[in-house]
Amino acid sequence: EAGVAQSPRYKIIEKRQSVAFWCNPISGHATLYWYQQILGQGPKLLIQFQNNGVVDDSQLPKDRFSAERLKGVDSTLKIQPAKLEDSAVYLCASSLDPESSYNEQFFGPGTRLTVL
């Protein structure tokens, strides 16, 4: 079974530039998560999709971050404009059965963003 794919793996941009990340979840997984992991901290949920609907985006800085999941499959996360504090690893994860307590998330390798 193919895993969660993410691209790019690394990105370096200057502040005030825009950047987009792409995620393709495991086939058939209805739930997709985007996390931000700042160095020294645990992953923080930015947005959670169930199919193509948003379940939780309470911690997404909506003035600069946006995300979409067209057709309930792959997803893009955009930052526009980027700030220095956005430097982090952006992880995408997917899960099959959100109703089960054994709901296991499968993660992609992440995109490491550096904002200069």
Partner 1 sequence: ILNVEQSPQSLHVQEGDSTNFTCSFPSSNFYALHWYRWETAKSPEALFVMTLNGDEKKKGRISATLNTKEGYSYLYIKGSQPEDSATYLCAFNNFNKFYFGSGTKLNVKP
Q: Which of 46, 82, 91, 115 binds partner 1 (CB under 8 A)?
A: 91
We find the least distance from the C-beta atom of residue 71 to partner 1, in angstroms, to be 22
Q: By CB under 8 A, is residue 4 in contact with partner 1?
A: yes
Left, alpha or beta for 57 (phi > 0: left; psi -120 to 50: alpha)?
Answer: alpha
DSSP 68-115: E-GGGS-EEEEESS--GGG-EEEEEEEES-TTSTT---EE---EEEEE
Q: By CB under 8 A, is residue 109 in contact with partner 1?
A: yes
Q: By CB under 8 A, is residue 94 in contact with partner 1?
A: no
We find the least distance from the C-beta atom of residue 110 to partner 1, in angstroms, to be 7
Span between the terminal Cα atoms of the chain, in Å: 37
- Contacts with partner 1 by CB under 8 A: the residue count is 26
Binding span for partner 1 by CB under 8 A among 22-30, 61-69, 70-78, 106-114: 106-114
Alpha-carbon dihedral of residues 107, 21, 73, 103, nearest 10 degrees?
Answer: 20
Q: By CB under 8 A, is residue 25 in contact with partner 1?
A: no
CA distance 51 to 74: 10
Q: Which residues contribute to the site for partner 1 (CB under 8 A)?
A: 3-4, 31, 33, 35, 40-45, 48, 56, 91, 98-99, 101-110
